[in-house]
Amino acid sequence: MAKKEGEWAFPADMRPRPEEWRFDLGNALDSVVGLRAEIPEDAFTAQILGTLRAGSGVVIRDDGLVLTIGYLITEASTIWLTTNKGHVVGGFPLAYDQTTGLGLVHPLGKLGVKAIERGTIGAVRVGENVVMAGHGGSIHSLKATVFAKREFAGYWEYVLDEALFTAPAHPQWGGAALIGAEGKLLGIGSLLVQEKIDAGTLQGNMIVPIDILAPILDDMVKTGRPNRPPRPWLGLYVTEAGPRLVVAGLAPGGPADKAGIKVGDAVLEVAGAKPASLADLFRRVWACGNAGARVPLKLLRETATKEPVVTSGDRNDFLKKPHLH
């Protein structure tokens, strides 16, 4: 794809070149489409994620189904998809799964794009070269290396048993495609991360692995969400502050907010046990049952302990639902 005047581009030596790969690089890059979403100003996620969101998505089926990172399309009222050839069609936010973080968009017209085959992260090793592809072809695609495969926990009550981490960082990571050496889709770009390496800092991307899509794909297409009970959600944004797990924020009107939990509270126990890490904290919350379960917490507020019991909710109940016009 030719670079338009004023458009950003990776330097030529950072881009993947067709002769470096054993697959048709052009076809693989063309499976990545641009995604732009508009969200109502009164949406639950508008204040945190904004009302205009832009990123990428990947065509994963012959019917044009687009896989993306879910936060781009959460509560979206309007979605536009753009191919590398400049063809634009509307899209419908078909599904968003908070557990995996993945979202699906149904194109409301023919994209004319060939689907990419899905692979598995079991086929990629740490140190292996990959392609981090954003919408726009080779100028928006990056030669990268997998520098880690490990658990990831996000403060918004999110845990992946295994995620991929790549470097250098792609600046437009949201919904970007991670393509392996065989030309198959390995994951979807989710975050910018910083890692302390020796005396310096490494910037990279966290990638949601493609493997977790297969068990839920059919249900997401049919009903808009996986066929499993929703997890208990507290609306509690927790961060690791040294050895302590500290409340850094609260979802307004969420279960933790209603239970009187405050920013700055340190979480000492969940259901009578001390969490060993951020991931362990959330897993202990989820072990209390399904959404609606009562979750006993022990908190330290300044010098006093508090023991609220939070009636959890279903995060999906707080979100605006899509409508076909």
User: Could you tell me the pTM of the whole model?
Assistant: 0.94
Beta strands in 108-197 (DSSP E): 129-133, 141-154, 158-167, 177-179, 185-197
pLDDT tens digit at each of 325 positions of the chain: 445 545 899 999 999 999 999 999 999 999 999 999 999 999 999 989 999 999 999 999 999 999 999 999 999 999 999 999 999 999 999 999 999 999 999 999 999 999 999 999 999 999 999 999 999 999 999 999 999 999 999 999 999 999 999 999 999 999 999 999 999 999 999 999 998 877 788 999 999 999 999 999 999 999 998 999 999 999 999 999 989 999 999 999 999 999 999 999 999 999 999 999 999 999 999 999 999 999 999 999 999 999 999 999 999 999 888 765 4
pLDDT at 36: 98
Give the integer Cα–Cα distance in Å for 34 and 72.
Answer: 11
Provide the token pair at 240: 């690791």
- CB–CB of 307/297 below 8 Å? yes
What is the torsion angle, in degrees rounded to the nearest 10, for the CA atoms of residue 211, residue 212, residue 214 and residue 216? 180
In the chain the domains, ranked by start, together with CATH numbers, are 11-228 (2.40.10.120), 236-318 (2.30.42.10)
Asked if residue 154 lies in contact with residue 279, where contact means CB atoms within 8 angstroms, the answer is: no
Contacts of residue 173, Cβ cutoff 8 Å, sequence gap at least 6: 55, 132, 134, 189, 190, 191, 192, 205
Pair of tokens at residue 178: 């991670």
